[in-house]
Amino acid sequence: MENIVIIGNGISGITAARHIRKKSNLNITVISSETKYFFSRTALMYIYMGHMKFEHTQPYEPWFWEKNRINLIQDYVETIDFKNKSLSLKNGQPVKYDKLILAVGSKPNKFGWPGQDLKGVQGLYSYQDLLELEENTKNGIKRAVIVGGGLIGIELAEMLLSRNYPVTFLVREESFWGNILPKEDSELIMRHMAEHHVDLKTETELKEIIPDSNGRVKSIITNNGEEIECELVGLTAGVSPNINFLKNSELDLDKGILINEFLETNQKDVYAIGDCAQFKQHPKKDRKPIEQVWYTGRMMGETVANTVCGKKLAYNPGHWFNSAKFFDIEYQTYGWVFNKALENEEHFFWQDKTGKIAIRLAYDKNSRLFHGINTYGIRMRHHAFDK
Amino acid sequence: MRTLQKIGLIIFIIGITIFTFSPFIGSYKVTDDILKTGLSEQQYANLSKKLNEKLVGQTFSFAWQISSVFVNEYELKNEEFKSKEEWDKVMYDNPQEVALSLTKSSATGFYATNILLFFLLSFGFGVLGAIMYFLPDVILLGPPGIKNNHIYRRPSTNRGLIAYFVFAYLIGFYILLYFYPAQLTNQILLVDPLSLLLNGNPASRWFLYGVLYCTVMLTMGVRMYIKYRNNKYQIFRTTSVLFFQVAFAFLIPELLIRFNMPSMDFKNAWPLNYSFFFDWNIDNLLNSGAIGAFMLFWGIVLTLIIVPVFSYFYGKRWYCSWVCGCGGLAETLGDPYRQHSNKTLKAWKFERWIVHGVLVFAVVMTGAALYTFFTNQNTLLGIDTYSIQKAYGFLIGSIFAGVIGTGFYPIFGNRVWCRFGCPLAAYIGIIQRFKSRFRITTNGGQCISCGNCSTYCEQGIDVRWYAQRGENIVRASCVGCGVCSAVCPRGVLKLENGPEQDRIIENPIIIGNDGIKLNL
Ligand SMILES: Cc1cc2nc3c(=O)[nH]c(=O)nc-3n(C[C@H](O)[C@H](O)[C@H](O)COP(=O)(O)OP(=O)(O)OC[C@H]3O[C@@H](n4cnc5c(N)ncnc54)[C@H](O)[C@@H]3O)c2cc1C
Ligand code: SF4
């Protein structure tokens, strides 16, 4: 029987494993270093805020893996020998594979800021990051600075504010998530952030992090020369594929692991899915080569499972969609809405009196063809748009 | 604001302390007159001599001193009759109940003469303090939205010391209420004036329970309104359940007594209302003229027609989350503990066995009761039908529904009774699972498997299991409280009624993946 080995037990790797099991009797091994069992990264914030315990973020009970004969190894893969189809692990014995699926996810970006490795400076991606955050805030802090205004940044802000730690939020753009959201949308969110007492500084970048005598962060300096005292710096300026351990191997890499539409890498029987994968050319022309979201990881996992089980399948995602929650405001997007209307495009924007509920539609000026929608504080139906 | 909350908490604690320790501040004096009015002729004849010796003329500091003497004498006398085989002389009343009527009428002194003052100090302070504690949350919790911060970081809601204390307190209260009511003499005295006002009689222990139930629900209802003020459905069902409790379960039955009619909670359907078909109840209804006949008719229609029809259209929620009193307490007092329901597959298996087991028990017990009613035979297959009723009343009615059902809130979640024990829930559950328009939809592929829905499901349903697959949730136990939908950060879940067709889809394709769709 063929040995299928998956590195990474995140949503993409686990979805692949589950679907391979549904379709076949192949041996499945999942190797991952972060945690023994699959957990939902998207729920990290809720653990810190006390909505859930860590075990609640694990979608499957421990018996599930045994029952479905999915062999779990908690270890770190140090190198891959693609010729001999073998993996060397940090602690355990080498593992042989017939087919290998790389689902190794991302890591937080660090842009070489002075002081970025000081104590009290951290990203938010892994379970270990969460533990570190608990450690960093266990005695309470007077202020935190968050650098980089995206989805993880605002989640981190919400987490810290839940414990009444004041937050200063540095955003490079003119407005929050301004490279994605149109002006009014972004303003709606910023009003809501102000309501939650986030001290938002737009058009501000981090220049330097200053240590105290113990090598702990004491303050930061912005590009405007302002010094802000803080005991915690959250680096949330995006993520990038977690491929350092694959550098200097025969694997074809760019920012991520390069793949074709069948999710195949340049190595035989080796696939890459999820956050770490980068399409040489995305099968859909309106999509980006790297899409680091939960949903795409899940779709790639399901797709690759077909291929591995002998039913070769190209990745063919439907329309783009995404969702998030900005404090109390739920956001959903469907299709494409850019921060500025395209040349042949018009936007329709409506918001209610409270300024907390809004819709934006993007459509073609002439043909009135629908391009995409953003909603805030309203729940829309997915099926309706797929049709 | 926080100071206000702290003061509120202190006032609340004072109120509940006075309520709890009121038995220690009374005094009781038994007279022969009290015995004469409190006991039946037979009891008086049998017991007055001993009781005169041991009780009359003395002043006691605690009600239990009287009740224990009384119960002891009562049982000794009965044993004497039994050993002499003088069956017609044996007394069949509940001695605890009789003892309570004695202790109540013998209460004297400062406490007994200042009942209103103590009512204000206990009930008044309790409610005032609780409201002072909840109200500032309108501001403290920030803008409307889901407010589950710190639930797992507080000992009160994360099975800490406070939770265990509440657990013990509730269990203790139910044991006294059901089995040793005389111990609650002073608490029952507190609501005497209200009882006289409403139904014209002094308060029984059930009257105290009714008042407490309504007070607790209304007070905790205020908390619900604040916590879920962003969510229309939660506001609606909280209002509904408060209305049905106060009007249907409390006021109407009490007023019926005042007008000399049989008392009935018109929303309480058999088999939750397990004594409805007992011969004494049917006899009582049949002897009460047109209104009694109507009540009997209504009770049957409620169970056989109204419950299934409404459940077909709206699912179980119309009863369990909008109407029922047990559900009402669970959704108000129990809401802070909803996350403790066990979500494992094992618990689900256990649930199916036990809840349907109770349903079978209820059906058998009622069948036997009806057999007795129609044939006047007391035994069926050699078993005394009254003993089945008694066993059911004790095991299910008192222990399961009361002691476990409410007492276990802080540790095992707020719907222990509804999930594992309620025979009506089992009955409606079967309808909901197989013949209903209700389902929770999961909006295609939007779930991020975060787990909020499963964590906050009070019925222990692993909602996420379905949501992350894009499957509708159609489960017998779902009471449609809507909290999974409320806490979902991605707007995935929606409670809906719709055509039965396509209600259950086994292996849906997760939306978004066109490749899989085409290759089917
Ligand atoms: C805080 C936060 C919130 C988010 N919220 C959302 C959201 O709301 N919606 C959304 O769409 N997306 C969200 N995302 C993004 C989403 O979580 C990711 O896109 C998704 O988890 C990626 O899944 P994956 O399986 O590709 O990789 P991962 O989940 O990163 O899994 C990769 C695993 O591989 C392990 N690994 C890596 N290298 C090795 C090695 N050499 N040996 C052994 N193991 C290794 C890693 O430790 C990791 O456990 C969020 C991310 C974060 C951090
Ligand atoms: S709460 Fe919503 S997003 Fe989270 S697991 Fe449940 S359905 Fe999915």
Instruction: Indicate if the alpha-carbon torsion angle B388, B393, B394, B395 is positive or negative.
Output: positive
Residues of A within 8 A of B487 (CB-CB) are 51
Residue A15 lies in a domain: yes
Residue A49 lies in a domain: yes
Instruction: State whether residue A13 is helix, strand or coil.
Output: helix
**Which of B454, B489, B514 lies nearest to residue A317, judging by beta carbons?**
B514
**Which of A50, A61, A295 lies nearest to residue B150, judging by beta carbons?**
A50
Q: Which residues line ligand 1 at a C-beta cut-off of 6 Å?
A: A 7-13, 31-34, 41-42, 44, 76-77, 103-106, 124-125, 151-152, 155, 242, 245, 274-275, 292-295, 297, 322, 324; B 448
Give tens-digit pLDDT for B284-308. 888 888 888 888 889 899 999 999 9
List the Cα angle B422/B170/B479 in 5-degree steps: 30
> Average pLDDT for residues B152-166, to the nearest whole number?
92
Q: CATH code at A44? A: 3.50.50.60
CA distance A277 to A297: 9
> Average pLDDT for residues B315-342, to the nearest whole number?
94
Give tens-digit pLDDT for B341-384. 999 999 999 999 999 999 998 888 888 888 888 888 777 787 78
- Would you say residue A261 has pLDDT above 60? yes
Q: Do the Cβ atoms of A162 and B150 come within 8 Å?
A: yes
Give tens-digit pLDDT for B198-210. 988 889 999 999 9
Residue A314 lies in a domain: no
Do A77 and A221 belong to one domain? no
Question: What does the pLDDT read at residue A386?
Answer: 58
Interface predicted TM-score (ipTM):
0.94
Residue B27 tokens, joined: 């005094």
The band of A33, judged by pLDDT with boundaries at 50, 70 and 90, is: very high
Using the structure block, give the residue that is written with the tokens 């779902």. Answer: B478
Q: State in Å: Cα A105 to ligand 1 middle.
A: 5
Out of A204, A237, A270, a domain closes at A237
Do A248 and A231 belong to one domain? no
Residue A153 lies in a domain: yes
- Would you say residue A63 has pLDDT above 50? yes
CA distance A159 to A171: 18
What letter would DSSP give residue A178?
T
Q: Do the Cβ atoms of A319 and B512 come within 8 Å?
A: yes
Pick from B225-239, B245-259, B372-386 the range whose average pLDDT is largest.
B225-239
Range of the domain at A28: 3-107+240-308
- Does B141 touch chain A if contact means CB atoms closer than 8 Å? no
The band of A45, judged by pLDDT with boundaries at 50, 70 and 90, is: very high
CA distance A257 to A240: 11
- Would you say residue B518 has pLDDT above 80? no
Question: What does the pLDDT read at residue A384?
Answer: 62
Do A75 and A32 belong to one domain? yes
Do A218 and A267 belong to one domain? no
Do A272 and A326 belong to one domain? no
Out of A265, A284, A308, a domain closes at A308
DSSP readout, A254-296? SSSEEE-TT-B-SSTTEEE-GGGEEESS-SSTTS-S---SHHH
Residue A313 lies in a domain: no
Residue A40 lies in a domain: yes
Using the structure block, give the residue that is written with the tokens 């934006």. Answer: A360
Question: What does the pLDDT read at residue A246?
Answer: 96
The band of A174, judged by pLDDT with boundaries at 50, 70 and 90, is: very high
**Which of A56, A162, A332 lies nearest to residue B149, judging by beta carbons?**
A162
Residue A160 lies in a domain: yes
Question: What does the pLDDT read at residue A40?
Answer: 97
B352 CA to chain A: closest CA distance, Å? 19
Do A326 and A372 belong to one domain? yes
The band of B48, judged by pLDDT with boundaries at 50, 70 and 90, is: confident
Question: What does the pLDDT read at residue B467?
Answer: 94
The band of B415, judged by pLDDT with boundaries at 50, 70 and 90, is: very high
Do A220 and A200 belong to one domain? yes
Do A178 and A208 belong to one domain? yes
Q: B residues 184-243 near A, CB within 8 Å?
A: 230
Residues of B within 8 A of A42 (CB-CB) are 448-450
Residue A213 lies in a domain: yes
Q: Which residue lies with its CA nearest to atom 2 of ligand 2?
A: B488
Question: What does the pLDDT read at residue A356?
Answer: 92
Question: What does the pLDDT read at residue B519?
Answer: 41
Give tens-digit pLDDT for A179-205. 999 999 999 999 999 999 999 999 999
Residues of B within 8 A of A303 (CB-CB) are 513, 515-516
Do A36 and A80 belong to one domain? yes
- Would you say residue B265 has pLDDT above 90? no
Question: What does the pLDDT read at residue B368?
Answer: 83
- Would you say residue B437 has pLDDT above 50? yes
Question: What does the pLDDT read at residue B520?
Answer: 38
> Average pLDDT for residues A88-101, to the nearest whole number?
97
Range with the poorest average pLDDT among A253-267, B380-394, B464-478 = B380-394
Do A74 and A222 belong to one domain? no
Q: Which ligand sits nearest to residue A295's alpha carbon? A: 1
Residue A329 tokens, joined: 């405001």
In chain A, pLDDT over 90 holds for what percent of residues? 94
Give tens-digit pLDDT for A107-165. 999 999 999 999 999 999 999 999 999 999 999 999 999 998 789 999 999 999 999 99
**Helices B161-179 + B205-227 axis angle, to 10:** 150
Do A41 and A185 belong to one domain? no
Q: Which residues contact A366 (CB under 8 A, 6 or more apart)?
A: A344
Instruction: State whether residue B94 is helix, strand or coil.
Output: coil
Alpha-carbon distance values, B233 to B230, B341, B428, B493 (Å): 9, 22, 21, 13
Closest CA to B22 of B103, B131, B101, B130: B103
Do A267 and A174 belong to one domain? no
Q: How many domains does chain A have?
A: 3
Range with the poorest average pLDDT among A220-224, A243-247, B98-102 = B98-102
> Which residue intervals of B333-449 are DSSP H helices?
345-375, 385-392, 405-407, 409-412, 416, 423-434
Out of A237, A262, A288, a domain closes at A237
CA distance B100 to B105: 9
